[in-house]
Amino acid sequence: MARYRIGVDIGGTFTDFSAFDTETGRLIGWKSPTVPGNPVEGLERGLDGLAQAHGIAPGAVGYFVHGTTIAVNTLIERKGAKLALFVTAGFRDLLIIQRLHVPRPQYWYGGRPEPLVPRERVFEIAERLRADGSVHEALSADSVRQAVAAARAAGAEAIVICFLHAFRNPAHELAARAIVEREAAGLIVCCSSQIWPRMREYERAIVSIVNAYVMPRVAGYLGQLEGRLAQAGVPAVPYITRSNGGVMTARGARAQPAETLLSGPASGVIGAIAVASRSGIRDLITLDIGGTSADVAFVENGTAQVSQQEHVASFPIMMPVIGVSSIGAGGGSVIVVDDAGVLRIGPESVGSDPGPACYGRGGTRAALTDAFLVGGFLNPQTFAGGRVALDAAKAGAVMTGVASRLGTDAAGAVDGVLRVATASLYAELSNLAAARGVDVRDYTLVPFGGAGPLLACRVADEIGMTKVLVPPSPGTLCALGALSADVASGFVHSLLCPLVQAQSALAQAYRTLEADARAWLAAEAPPGVARHRVTLAADMRYAGQSYEIDVPLEPDWVMGGRLDEIAQAFHAMHRRVYAHADPTDPTELVDLRLTIHGTMPKPGAAALARGSGAAPPSGRRSVLSGKAMTLAPVWRRTDMLAGQTIAGPGLVDQDDTTTFVAPGWIGTVHDNGNLLLERVRP
Partner 1 sequence: MSIDPIMLGVMNAYFRAAAEAAGFVLKRSAHTTYIKESNDFTTSLITPGGIQFAYPVALAAQSYVGIDFSPTLRQLEPWSPDDIAVANCPFATKGMSTHLPDYHLLKPIFAEGKLVAFAWAFIHSSDMGGIVAGSILPSAYELFQEGIRITPKKLYRAGVLQEDVKDFLLSNVRIPDKNWGDLNAVIAALGTAEARVQEAVRKWGLAAVEQGREALIDYAERRARALIDRLPNGTWSFHDYLEDDVVSDMPVRVKLKATKQSGGDLHLDFTGSDPQIGAAFNLASGGRHPFLCAALFGLLRTLDPTIPINGGLIRPVRMTAPEGSIVNAVFPSACGVRFAINQLTYGILQAIFAQALPGIVPAAGAGQATILAVSIMDPKTGRRRANVVQPMIGGSGGRPGTDGIDGTDFSLGSLANTPTESLENEVPILIRSYQVVPDSGGAGRHRGGHALRIDFEVFQPDTIVTARGMDRFRFQPWGLNGGRAGATGDAWLDPETPKAKRLGKINILRLGVGEVLSVRTPGGGGYGDPLDRPAAEVLADVRAGLTSPTAAERDYGVILGTAGIDAAATERQRAALRAEGQARATSAAANWPAAFDGGTGRAEHERRFTPEVSDTLAELLFTLPAAARYYAKQQIYQRIRAESAAPTATQLRMLWVKMLPELGLSSG
| 299 within 8 A of 285, measured Cβ to Cβ | yes
| Residues in binding contact with partner 1, number by CB under 8 A | 70
- Least separation in angstroms between residue 416's CB and partner 1 is 4
Applying the rule CB under 8 A, the residues between 398 and 437 that interact with partner 1 are 406-407, 412, 415-416, 419-420, 423-424, 426-428, 430-431, 434-437
The CA distances from residue 511 to 160, 237, 516, 592, in Å, are: 28, 30, 9, 11
Give one DSSP letter per residue of 78-105, joined into a string: T----EEEEEETT-TTHHHHTTS--S-T
Please choose, out of 9-17, 69-77, 145-153, 332-340, the segment that lies near partner 1 by the rule CB under 8 A.
332-340
- Least separation in angstroms between residue 432's CB and partner 1 is 8
What own/partner pairs with CB < 8 Å and gap ≥ 24 does 20-24 have?
20/483, 20/603, 21/56, 22/62, 22/601, 24/606
As separate numbers, helices (DSSP H) first and strands (DSSP E) second, the chain gives 17, 35
Nearer to partner 1, 119 or 533 (CB): 119
Nearer to partner 1, 56 or 402 (CB): 402
Distance CA 426, CA 327 (A): 8
x/- string (CB under 8 A) for partner 1, residues 115-144?
---xxx-------x-xx----x--------
| 128 within 8 A of 150, measured Cβ to Cβ | no
The three state secondary structure string of 578-635 is HCCCCCCCCEEEEEEEEEEEECCCCCCCCCCCECCCECCCCEEEEEEECCEEEEEEEE
Decide if residue 90 touches partner 1 (CB under 8 A): yes
Distance CA 39, CA 359 (A): 22
- Least separation in angstroms between residue 345's CB and partner 1 is 9
Which run of H or of E encompasses 552? strand 549-553
- Least separation in angstroms between residue 80's CB and partner 1 is 19
Indicate the pairing of strand 158-162 with strand 135-137.
unpaired
Decide if residue 149 touches partner 1 (CB under 8 A): no
Q: What are phi and psi of 454, to 5 degrees?
A: -70, -35
Applying the rule CB under 8 A, the residues between 434 and 493 that interact with partner 1 are 434-437
Please choose, out of 161-169, 179-187, 227-235, 633-641, the segment that lies near partner 1 by the rule CB under 8 A.
161-169
In the set 108, 381, 439, 609, which binds partner 1 (CB under 8 A)? 108
| 336 within 8 A of 343, measured Cβ to Cβ | yes
Packing angle of the helix pair 201-232, 70-77 (nearest 10 deg): 130
Residues in the chain: 682
Applying the rule CB under 8 A, the residues between 589 and 648 that interact with partner 1 are none
In the set 51, 141, 199, 237, which binds partner 1 (CB under 8 A)? 199
Distance CA 304, CA 271 (A): 11
Please choose, out of 84-92, 393-401, 600-608, 655-663, the segment that lies near partner 1 by the rule CB under 8 A.
84-92
Nearer to partner 1, 72 or 540 (CB): 540
- Least separation in angstroms between residue 538's CB and partner 1 is 17
Decide if residue 202 touches partner 1 (CB under 8 A): yes
Check the CA dihedral 578-584-585-590 and report its sign: positive
Please choose, out of 72-80, 331-339, 484-492, 633-641, the segment that lies near partner 1 by the rule CB under 8 A.
331-339
| 288 within 8 A of 448, measured Cβ to Cβ | yes
In the set 23, 37, 101, 381, which binds partner 1 (CB under 8 A)? 101
In the set 4, 63, 167, 359, which binds partner 1 (CB under 8 A)? 167
Please choose, out of 69-77, 302-310, 573-581, 632-640, the segment that lies near partner 1 by the rule CB under 8 A.
573-581
- Least separation in angstroms between residue 60's CB and partner 1 is 50
Distance CA 227, CA 12 (A): 23
Nearer to partner 1, 199 or 642 (CB): 199
**How much of the chain is helix, strand and coil, in % rounded to 5?**
35, 30, 35
Nearer to partner 1, 14 or 443 (CB): 443
Burial 36-49 (b: 16+ CB within 10 A, else e): eeebbebbbebbeb
Distance CA 574, CA 202 (A): 26
- Least separation in angstroms between residue 334's CB and partner 1 is 12
Nearer to partner 1, 92 or 228 (CB): 92
Smallest CA-to-CA distance from 234 within 30, 5, 24 is with 5
Nearer to partner 1, 128 or 636 (CB): 128
What own/partner pairs with CB < 8 Å and gap ≥ 24 does 131-136 have?
131/165, 131/168, 132/168, 133/165, 133/168, 133/169, 134/169, 135/171, 135/172
- Least separation in angstroms between residue 168's CB and partner 1 is 9
Nearer to partner 1, 60 or 549 (CB): 549
Decide if residue 548 touches partner 1 (CB under 8 A): no
Distance of CA 383 to the CA centre of its chain: 25
Nearer to partner 1, 131 or 519 (CB): 131
In the set 3, 35, 45, 102, which binds partner 1 (CB under 8 A)? 102
Nearer to partner 1, 235 or 664 (CB): 664
- Least separation in angstroms between residue 549's CB and partner 1 is 11
Nearer to partner 1, 23 or 120 (CB): 120
Nearer to partner 1, 504 or 546 (CB): 546
The CA distances from residue 5 to 55, 479, 530, in Å, are: 14, 11, 17
Across-strand partners of 497? 589
Please choose, out of 78-86, 145-153, 351-359, 545-553, the segment that lies near partner 1 by the rule CB under 8 A.
545-553
Applying the rule CB under 8 A, the residues between 488 and 527 that interact with partner 1 are 496
Distance of CA 213 to the CA centre of its chain: 20
Applying the rule CB under 8 A, the residues between 337 and 366 that interact with partner 1 are 337-344
- Least separation in angstroms between residue 578's CB and partner 1 is 6
| 33 within 8 A of 85, measured Cβ to Cβ | no
- Least separation in angstroms between residue 15's CB and partner 1 is 35
| 117 within 8 A of 85, measured Cβ to Cβ | yes
Nearer to partner 1, 431 or 638 (CB): 431
Q: Give the binding site for partner 1 (CB under 8 A).
A: 89-93, 96-97, 99-102, 104-112, 118-120, 128, 130-131, 136, 164-165, 167, 199-203, 337-344, 406-407, 412, 415-416, 419-420, 423-424, 426-428, 430-431, 434-437, 496, 544-547, 577-580
